[in-house]
Amino acid sequence: MWEIKMNILILLVGSNPLPSYIVGDYLMKKGRAEAKKALPEPGKIILVHSKDTEKFAKRVSNKLNIQPEPEYVDLNTDERNPCVIVKGIQGKLDELAKADVINTIHLNYTGGTKPMSLYGSIAVNEWIEKEKKKDKIKVILSDIDPNNHKIVLREKPDYPLDGDMLDVVKVKTDTVLDLHDMKTVHAGVQHLTIPIPEDRLMEFAYQAIIKYRNNQKQIFQIFSKIKIRGRSSQEKERSINRQIPQTDFQANFNQISTEFPSLGNFDFNQGKLPFIEFFTGKWLEDLVLNTLTKLKAATPIDEIAKGVEASYGNRKTEIDVIAIRGYKLFLFSCTTSQEIKWVKQKAFEALHRAEQLGGEHAKLIVVSLMHNRRVQGNSFTEDNNLDELKKDLAQFDAARNCRLTGIDDLQGECEGRGTFTQRLKSIIMGVE
């Protein structure tokens, strides 16, 4: 009698559900002819989770639209207990074996804790031995290599054979946030803070960079007494109008446009808020956005957004700029500060967010106005430079997924040498 043989995929869901989503999405895709035999399409998916990660397992199932419904192994609060892990997985295999003939069991251990990975593997192999089906059921153990973006098996080759999974598995920012049980408050934008042509943006950025390089940055404090309050743009605009009379604002703008002719003839029909935000720092985010947008034409960048806002529980978070290539996240944290203590603080905050959202599949790029290294004759830069910051980050093993870029790369970009563009291209393409 002809019998249907079942291919089982076991995914371990830890605090970062993205790896489970990546593997599930790849293996469920049609047309993987070269991998069907080595990595068959799963007929049943088992999601192993703890009490804390149950919501992530449900999100993975929902976003992948897994059909038939997946099986769940709930470890409750015992995600580090060997006996509970082994018993839970073997019990689920017992149930499935009664219903269908099992052909393969594929355990991907990228997403779980170390105990889940170790004892998950032991659970599968012991179950095969117990059932005396070593010659009848193929066991596949796999991991996602974060460097070559392939599924790595015990024996070569890695999959996919041609290209890598970044070419196949594509995620969007809202998908990543949803997997982490975060609500998208603002999806971000692809336009600059103020409607300024590219040549004027670059001119302003160059003038601003030269002022910071020469320590002539007092002009950027012109709006420092204004405290922008409110949630919506309208509330923020009203807050600004209450704090600064039109005559004072016009006087400030006249002073700014004298020092920065590229900002002259600005149209305030959209209010004062965009201009103030741009001038007090968001111009740097705009420079990053503009560079990425141009780079996208020649680089496999799938998504770019500026000013993404999300919430989880009662907490809110904002991503200055994000770029996605396949499923690899590139989070940009931008600051016009040149002081190492403030840039380091911002870097650690952003590193936490990058680790939370992407783990090994995310990189943080900190864009500041710090010098690459100490500048001779400039005592301020003795401690306040990117080389010193890199040493500080290395002490906490934070440098691995973090890249630093500063005033030297940015100035070269504004001068037409493409230094910032080339740096971002190297990072996004995995050269550095």
The verdict on residue 387 lying in a domain is yes
Q: Which amino acid is at 62?
A: N
Give CA separation, 270 vs 215, 296, 326, in Å: 32, 29, 36
- Kindly state whether residues 158 and 228 are assigned to the same domain: no
Contacts of 386 (CB under 8 A, 6+ apart): 368, 370, 371, 372, 373, 404, 405, 406
- Kindly state whether residues 20 and 139 are assigned to the same domain: yes
Among residues 409, 431, 189, the alpha carbon closest in space to that of 289 is found at: 189
Domain count, the chain: 3
Dist. CA 309–CA 320, nearest whole Å: 9
Q: Hey, what are 349's tokens?
A: 């905050």
- Kindly state whether residues 289 and 415 are assigned to the same domain: yes
Residue tagged 């047309």 (tokens)? 31
CB contact at 8 A, 332 and 369: no
The verdict on residue 408 lying in a domain is yes
The verdict on residue 241 lying in a domain is yes
pTM of the model as a whole: 0.94
The verdict on residue 338 lying in a domain is yes
- Kindly state whether residues 271 and 132 are assigned to the same domain: no
Dist. CA 155–CA 159, nearest whole Å: 11
Last residue of a domain, one of 239, 264, 280: 280
- Kindly state whether residues 105 and 251 are assigned to the same domain: no
Dist. CA 427–CA 184, nearest whole Å: 27
Report the CATH number at residue 361.
3.40.1350.10
- Kindly state whether residues 264 and 291 are assigned to the same domain: no
The verdict on residue 190 lying in a domain is no
Q: 3-state DSSP: the chain helix, strand, coil percent, rounded to 5?
A: 45, 20, 35
The verdict on residue 192 lying in a domain is no
The verdict on residue 212 lying in a domain is no
Dist. CA 421–CA 398, nearest whole Å: 24
φ, ψ dihedrals at 172, nearest 5°: -110, 160
Dist. CA 255–CA 149, nearest whole Å: 52
- Kindly state whether residues 33 and 156 are assigned to the same domain: yes
- Kindly state whether residues 227 and 151 are assigned to the same domain: no
CB contact at 8 A, 101 and 134: no
- Kindly state whether residues 120 and 248 are assigned to the same domain: no
Report the CATH number at residue 30.
3.40.50.10770
Range of the domain at 81: 5-168
- Kindly state whether residues 147 and 13 are assigned to the same domain: yes
- Kindly state whether residues 340 and 241 are assigned to the same domain: no
The verdict on residue 183 lying in a domain is no
Could you read off the pLDDT tens digit of each residue along the chain, which spans 432 residues? 345 679 999 999 999 999 999 999 999 988 776 677 889 999 999 999 999 999 999 999 999 999 999 999 999 999 999 999 999 999 999 999 998 899 999 999 999 999 999 999 999 999 999 888 778 899 999 999 999 999 999 888 999 998 999 999 999 999 999 999 999 999 999 999 999 999 999 999 999 999 999 999 999 999 999 999 998 889 999 999 999 999 999 999 999 999 999 998 887 777 899 999 999 999 999 999 999 999 999 999 999 999 999 998 888 999 999 999 999 999 999 999 999 999 999 999 999 999 999 999 999 999 999 999 999 989 999 999 999 999 999 887 767 889 999 999 999 999 999 999 999 999 999 988
CB contact at 8 A, 190 and 392: no
- Kindly state whether residues 276 and 293 are assigned to the same domain: no
